[in-house]
Amino acid sequence: MARSELPDIPLSVLDLAPVGAGSHAGAALRDTIELARLTERLGFQRFWVAEHHNMPGIASSAPAVLLAHLATATERIRLGSGGVMLPNHAPLVVAEQFGMLEALHPGRVDLGIGRAPGTDPVTAQALRRRADALSVDEFPEQLTELMGYFVGASQRGVRVSTVRRRNAQHCVPSTPRGPAFARTTS
């Protein structure tokens, strides 16, 4: 399908880097790279990767790492996470990772945020180091902290050197306690 045949709706692709039967993560990640390149050639607007842990059939456990590689393998398509599961990460680390991606690939990086664990309870505990750490109930506070790093209003007084300061409208939760989409670029 040529670009002129695509609908006038921005189209995106979300990939999980599926590991086929009898295959391995390396092959799945190479397939994801080829899919991103094809998606770009076909004129899609964005290519997204998901975060899942301890799932033998899915190789996308580290969205920021995968996006860094995809950004070097493509030229202009926007790349993003769909999404980073914020309860699994310190907001500062997410801001630093995506701030660095944006600094290296200006105008091409999007940050999608989710509140689910993206895994089973045992793996979620291993990611968080303790059972009570970073529960989904803390999501609103985590999201507020993350947004603060992008708009230069960190309540902790920490500044992320790779983050270009943004207007707060670029970091908008969809609901007070639900998933959010925070754009790191305009």
- What average pLDDT does the segment 85-103 reach? 91
pLDDT band at 40 (very low <50, low <70, confident <90, very high): very high
CA nearest neighbour of 114 among 56, 67, 154, 174? 174
Tell whether the model's pLDDT for residue 75 goes beyond 50. yes
For the chain, percent of residues with pLDDT exceeding 90: 51
Tell whether the model's pLDDT for residue 63 goes beyond 50. yes
Phi, psi angles (nearest 5°) of residue 116: -75, 160
Tell whether the model's pLDDT for residue 91 goes beyond 80. yes
> Domain 3-182, what fold?
TIM Barrel (3.20.20)
- What average pLDDT does the segment 65-93 reach? 94
pLDDT at site 159: 80
pLDDT tens across 114-162, in order?
Answer: 888 778 888 887 887 666 665 667 888 889 899 888 888 777 778 887 7
> Of the ranges 41-45, 126-130, 173-177, which one carries the lowest mean pLDDT score?
173-177
3-state SS of 23-69 is CCHHHHHHHHHHHHHHHHHCCCCEEEECCCCCCCCECCCCHHHHHHH
- What average pLDDT does the segment 65-81 reach? 97
Tell whether the model's pLDDT for residue 24 goes beyond 90. yes
pLDDT band at 177 (very low <50, low <70, confident <90, very high): very low
Residues in the chain, total: 186
